Amino acid sequence: IVQTAVDSTRAIGGRVTGPDGRVVEVGDPDAGADRIDLPLQAGGTSFGSLVLYGSEFSVLDLESASLLVGHAVIALENARLHHIVEQQALVDALTGLANRRAAEQRLAIELARASRFGSPLSIVFADLDHFKRVNDTFGHPAGDLVLRELAAVLASTVRGIDLAARWGGEEFCLILPGTDLTGAARLAERVRTALAERTILTTEGMPLHVTASFGVAGRPPSASAEELIAS
């Protein structure tokens, strides 16, 4: 954006400052006596600002810069919306964890990597015990709260290279690259204990104590996603 704006207005330099404070400069900003300030904004969304510096800008230069910014903002907004749609397609809306589609994609990638380098790979499945009873007794809002609590325990337990995902319903999974069965079993036990010791309060203030059952599988010996999940 800044390079095209500098070229189209014969500016000496230009600077884009993003909403996060990141700065991108082209040419020699601050060298010119004249400047054009244009916000990069689409509706209520700000992408920062563009400042062009030159000896003397004409009305035509201002019009060219404004037209360029208009097109740039449309492109930035389209990219932002596309990113949101991509994220929504791979994230479980209730828990914020990866969804099953994302988990299946990641598992395929990690299996290929583990096969290539001969490294271990484990997965852990967690299933909330008597989850239907929670919904029937306390209502679906309480059930949603329980799901989010288990998701929080999983997310706080895994490493940065691991993936915690909601597989579906009350079933969750962990994908653990570089972790053998023994390590995965230890992690599953930590999660199981942390959840069992947790007191969950419903919106009415009723305390809930829930537990989950865990299954662990790994490669080797299982070689495919189907074998891992089935085991």
Residues 211 and 153: beta-carbon distance below 8 Å: no
Do 132 and 114 meet the contact criterion of CB atoms below 8 Å apart? no
Tell me how far the alpha carbon of residue 68 is from its chain's centroid.
31
What is the identity of the amino acid at 4? T
Q: Distance (Å, rounded) from C-alpha 41 to C-alpha 170?
A: 41
Handedness of CA 230, 127, 125, 89 (dihedral sign): positive
Three-state secondary-structure class, residue 153: helix
Using alpha carbons, list the distances in angstroms from residue 166 to 142, 147, 176, 187. 17, 9, 15, 17
Burial 58-79 (b: 16+ CB within 10 A, else e): eeebeebbeebbeebbeebbee
In angstroms, rounded to a whole number, what is the distance separating the alpha carbons of residues 31 and 202? Answer: 62
Residues carrying an active site annotation: 170
